[in-house]
């Protein structure tokens, strides 16, 4: 069973991730002590965290964490303005990233800690 939006939001706050903005169903967070954005998309039971596509090289590492599931393919949304664009259906391109779902709060914590470790070169 996947974690709900409110639980995911509470866990990100407890991990000191800062909120920058919320537009429609997208909330931008910054990882603690870093200037690295992640996005929370969705509501209620259908929610996911989206990270930069540059971390695709670490996909097996991140998706291999207990309780973490990678959503196949890329997630696209115009509101993820800090992410790169790729041309999919429109000529201008659309911002995209890698989406992940979580079973529980512990999985979210493991994921954020591992992502911070990757960014810090650990």
Q: Write the pLDDT tens digit of every residue in 69-111.
A: 998 999 999 999 999 999 877 778 999 999 999 999 999 999 9
Residue found under tokens 């690295």? 36
User: What is the Cβ-side half-sphere exposure of residue 109, based on CA atoms within 13 angstroms?
Assistant: 8
SS3 category, 113: helix
Q: What pTM did the predictor assign?
A: 0.93
Among 3.90.1170.50, 3.90.1150.40, 3.10.310.30, 3.40.50.300, what is the CATH number of 5-119?
A: 3.90.1150.40
Q: Write the pLDDT tens digit of every residue in 20-40.
A: 999 989 999 999 989 999 999
């Amino acid at each position: 069973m996947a974690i709900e939006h409110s639980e995911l939001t509470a866990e990100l706050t407890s991990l000191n991730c800062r909120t920058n903005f919320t537009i429609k169903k997208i909330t931008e967070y910054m990882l603690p002590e870093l200037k690295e954005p992640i996005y929370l998309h969705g509501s209620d039971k259908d929610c996911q965290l989206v990270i930069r596509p540059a971390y695709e090289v670490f996909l097996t590492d991140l998706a291999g964490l207990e309780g973490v599931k990678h959503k196949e393919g890329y997630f696209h949304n115009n509101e993820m303005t800090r992410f790169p664009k790729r041309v999919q259906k429109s000529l201008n391109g659309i911002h995209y990233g890698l989406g992940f779902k979580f079973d529980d709060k512990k999985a979210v914590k493991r994921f954020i800690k591992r992502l911070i470790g990757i960014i810090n070169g650990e």
